[in-house]
Structure 1
Amino acid sequence: MDTKSRIIEVATNLFQKKGYIGVGLNEILKECNISKGSLYHHFPNGKEELLITCLQSLNEAITEDIEGIYHRYATTKEATNVMVEQLIEKFEREGTLTGYTFSSIVSEMAALSDPVREACAGLYKKMQDIYYHKLVADGLSNDKAYAYALMMTASIEGAMMLCLTQNSAEPLKVLLKMLPNLIEK
């Protein structure tokens, strides 16, 4: 793995675990075993540029994963069940959802940085679009599909945050039972 990729991987993991403010550049440098000059070579504008790059990387990984699931299953209900079951399994196995949620970064940085807010908004939009297109394919009207996609995005992200704060997979388990029943034509 090249230095830039390593920096992105390490920083993404740290930002997800500790938030943007909770992670200092020195911690990233130490974890990557690199100099400050090396970090600034790859990210001349510093920590915020690194965060935006991490969010873009997360965006690609998360949307690729969601798209894969939604393409493999015939209906939104089936795909959503599989996706939420995978989140539950990951949380129960690892005690975290690193790699799947970035809500803590949004709550911390959205009001402070338009570029960060826009990067986060872009990821939520991509997730919502995946759900929307699958719902339309299921036969829902554009308006209903949009509303359900927004509800799904908010519900799944909220359940993940509740799992992390409660240290329990229960919110995702409840969502697994309830969300498919809320989607109707």
Structure 2
Amino acid sequence: MDTKLQIIDISIPLFQQKGYKGVGVTEIIKACNVSKGSFYHHFPDGKEELLMACLKSIDETITTHMKDIFKQYPSTQEATLAMIDILISDFEKKSRIVVSTFTSIVSEIGSLSEPVRNSCSDLYQKMQKIYCTKLEADGFSKETANSIALMMIASIEGAIMLCLTHKSSQPLKVISHELKKVLNYPG
């Protein structure tokens, strides 16, 4: 594996578990088994540049995963419930949510730079667009689809944080149940 990709792949779970501030360059170098020179060769601007690369990787993983799920199901309701079932299964098997643990990094957003904030914002906009497209195909107006999509992101991301803090998949199960009501076909 390419050293840069190795550093990114190893750093993502470190950032997800400990947050941006909780992980130092020394810990990253040690976990990746690379020299300081090698780290700075690939990330000359240091930890923030690495974080941006990690966010890009997470962005690609999440959007690809969501698009794949949403292509498999005819309605937003079925696709969303399938996605939440995957999150629940992930949590119950691993006590963490692998695919969508973007939230843990975003929680520090207030103290991070504008490029990092923009990167996070871009991912949420992509997620909202995936939801909106499917909701509009289900017959919801553009305005209603945007509102529901925003509510879905906030609900699911909030439930992920609650699962992690409560060490229980129950918050995602509750959201799944409640979204069934919201995602009924319009009219």
TM-score by length of 1: 0.97
Partners in 2 of 1:54 and 1:17 — Cα distance?
A: 13
Q: Distance in 1 between matches of 2:13 and 2:101?
A: 11
Where does the alignment leave 5 or more consecutive residues of structure 1 unmatched?
none
SS at match of 1:174: helix
| TM-aligned CA deviation for residue 103 of structure 1 | 1.7
TM-score by length of 2: 0.96
CA drift at 1:13:
1.0
Q: Which amino acid aligns with 1:47?
A: K
- Contact 1:14–1:23 (8 Å) recurs in 2: yes
Say how many residue pairs are matched: 185
Tell me the residue number matched to 1:123. Answer: 123
Unaligned runs of at least 5 residues, structure 2: none
Aligned to 1:84: 84
**In 2, Cα distance between equivalents of 1:44 and 1:76:** 43
Partner SS, residue 68 of structure 1: helix
For residues 84-135 of structure 1, the C-alpha deviation after alignment (integer angstroms, 9 at most, x for no partner) is 0000000000000133122222221344311110010011111111000000
Which residue number corresponds to residue 13 of structure 1? 13
Secondary structure of 1:177 counterpart:
helix
Tell me whether 1:61 sits opposite 2:61 in the alignment.
yes
| Residue 43 of structure 2: aligned partner | 43
In 2, the alpha carbon distance for the partners of 1:110 and 1:137 equals 35
- Structure 2 equivalent of residue 73 of structure 1: 73
Partner of 1:95: 95
CA contact (8 A) 2:90 2:98 kept: no
What whole-Å deviation, never above 9, does each CA across 1:42-97 have from its counterpart, x for those lacking one?
11110001001100100000110000000110000000110000000000000001
Aligned to 1:166: 166
Question: After the TM superposition, which of the residue ranges 148-157 and 106-115 deviates more from structure 2?
Answer: 106-115
Q: Identify the residue that residue 33 of structure 2 maps to in structure 1.
A: 33
- 8 Å Cα contact 1:69/1:79 also seen in 2: yes
Q: CA deviation at 1:180?
A: 1.8
Aligned residue in 2 for 1:150 = 150
Q: Does residue 104 of the first structure (1) align with residue 109 of the second (2)?
A: no
